[in-house]
Amino acid sequence: MGAVAKTQTEDAPSGRGLDARDTVALVSRARAGDRRAFAALYRRHGRMVHGVLLARLPRTELRDAMQEVFTSALAKLDGLRDPSRFGPWLATIARNCARDWFKRHANTRELAHEPGALDDRRAAHPGADLADTLTLLAGLRELPEDYRELLSLRFAEGMTGPEIAAQLGMTPGSVRVKLHRGVALLRAQVEAADTEDSHD
């Protein structure tokens, strides 16, 4: 797992210090046209959006997709019924953005975890074995989308279980269970690939 532990980019803002009351107040101010309030929402939720997109899109598309998600959120902000659910609402916009990208690029099957996206990881982990990293990323690519998303948020974005729960509107217990299951599924994928390689 160490090979994917820290792939956070400079474009992914921090998500620390989340508080539902603060979020409600920021949404209210952003609805009234306060740009600084919306910038604060970006700083609080950007890392989560980055992780959701990272689990779905080619790495080269992340910057544009981040901009598209937040532009769409700003345009739709008045339609948000429950401002305390801003994080889960924003995650849905990010997932829809990724789905729309694949509809527009129907022939593209490259994911954020393709070998071409490994340059940052190799630089950050020079001792990591490239073959192991490729196997790990291939296994991650095969996981169901919800596990891939949570593992990306945890290991690529460095978010804690409680942060993920708060951002996605899940309980900490369900995040913990899904992370545990996701890691187990990923381990099984990697072990199966290792077994295949040893028989070749």
Question: How far is CA 195 from its chain centroid?
Answer: 29
Asked if the model's pLDDT at residue 121 lies above 70, the reply is no
How confident is residue 28, by pLDDT bands cut at 50, 70 and 90?
very high
Q: For the chain, give every domain's residue range.
A: 2-199
Q: What is the mean pLDDT of the chain?
A: 81
pLDDT in tens, 37-78: 999 999 999 999 999 999 998 889 999 999 999 999 999 999
Instruction: Report whether 62 contacts 50 (CB < 8 A).
Output: yes
Residue 10 CB-half CA count within 13 A: 1
With pLDDT > 90 as the criterion, what percentage of the chain qualifies? 54
Average of per-residue pLDDT across 164-174: 95
How confident is residue 114, by pLDDT bands cut at 50, 70 and 90?
very low
Average of per-residue pLDDT across 98-127: 60
Least confident of 18-22, 50-54, 171-175, 182-186: 18-22
Instruction: Identify which has the larger pLDDT, 32 or 103.
Output: 32
DSSP 59: G
User: Model's pTM, two decimal places?
Assistant: 0.74
Coil vs helix vs strand at 87: helix
- Which pLDDT score, from 0 to 100, does residue 7 have? 36
- Among candidates 69, 80, 86, which has minimal Cα distance to 23? 86
Asked if the model's pLDDT at residue 5 lies above 90, the reply is no
- Which pLDDT score, from 0 to 100, does residue 139 have? 79
Domain 2-199: state its class.
Answer: mainly alpha
Instruction: Identify which has the larger pLDDT, 184 or 115.
Output: 184
The owner of tokens 């593992």 is: 151
* 173 CB neighbour count, 10 Å cutoff: 10
